[in-house]
Structure 1
């Protein structure tokens, strides 16, 4: 990157345990630091990925943080043993949220019933541990809000990770007091148009930034990486797009989203 970057950002959603980072993870982290990404949250989606995320946090204390949870795709793997292990993992240094959990009625790799059961158990875990929820939602907003609404006051907050929903979904989650995570989806000239139209509707104290790397590489990058892999280093590109759409400076956006991240995750 040749441009001078003076603002610091926090990436709340990075899949650093993904196999696409296997051979150069140290370089990926170094590039993030050099580009003034001041902290990153590694997404845990299974027991194994959560363990790997925690191990990375121990190697990079105060810079990397982790979530620990069972993704709705893997909800069928939920058991009493799984919950016992998740609780133990949640007590490890660097763990700041329970998740990625939630519902995905698009692919249904686990049945809706299995997803709901796993989601409710992880909500209970979040309440017990006093950790916020890191949430997934795909074509399941109505059911997810129905489950969250009775327990929302018992939770220490939550974020809808990688929000791509419509206006009704956005305001449904905002009415519950949730934070909204925005990714490079907003840089997609095909799929991101509705999100661009909604971005000003997100209150400044509810907005969070993420790459969801290695997924969702911004399509409008002027120079695309040869591997086609997203990295935290591209969070600044996403932030500039959002700042422009919201009519504020990148510095203002940085301050707002950094404060929001610290407030929700206590980092």
Structure 2
């Protein structure tokens, strides 16, 4: 099975960049399943809206994961329970709307996608380690991809080592900066600390840079807006062995002015 995991999609520019590039990437790489983190896909870069979901699914995305901005758009409460292709962090409290994982049938086999959120410098959620244990006891035998939406590299690495051999791959999201540490752990789990983002290339993690700089200089509240201008597209391809359900190969994708899409 070949999975294309797309980094955090930021604002309308991020969504349009997915629409622009994804058909060509599908043609080149022929993924069996496409996952994208959409927790910043709303127009203001916080949360997700129904029209943004439709735009991404229509472009070819099969599953949308979320994160710490899951509830930033009030309208999500109107549809999250009815959207089979959307999952929010599974370690939110048990009565929280939506679901934290889903099992998908593909031509290459069954795939479970789990969304978890870190706790270091994040919200006070349930333990992602123990939540992963509980989910893995529930799901049928399948390949398993975890989107771990977390701030610190240490927490991401620790969870990957903890789950090594029990899941197919763990891909980090949230920091919006693609890391160059893709690897397959000793027991067969693919790992990347952060897949990066899709959206403005010249902002600060997608936001207009002058406002972010002002916040650091003054320590005063500043309104952040999604940056404009040229865009970048970050993703990772993960090849899984259908029999062992382990990772075989990983390839980072970086498309921007300096790394144009070829093919």
Give the TM-score taking structure 2 as reference length: 0.49
Give the TM-score taking structure 1 as reference length: 0.48
- Higher helix proportion (structure 1 or 2): 1
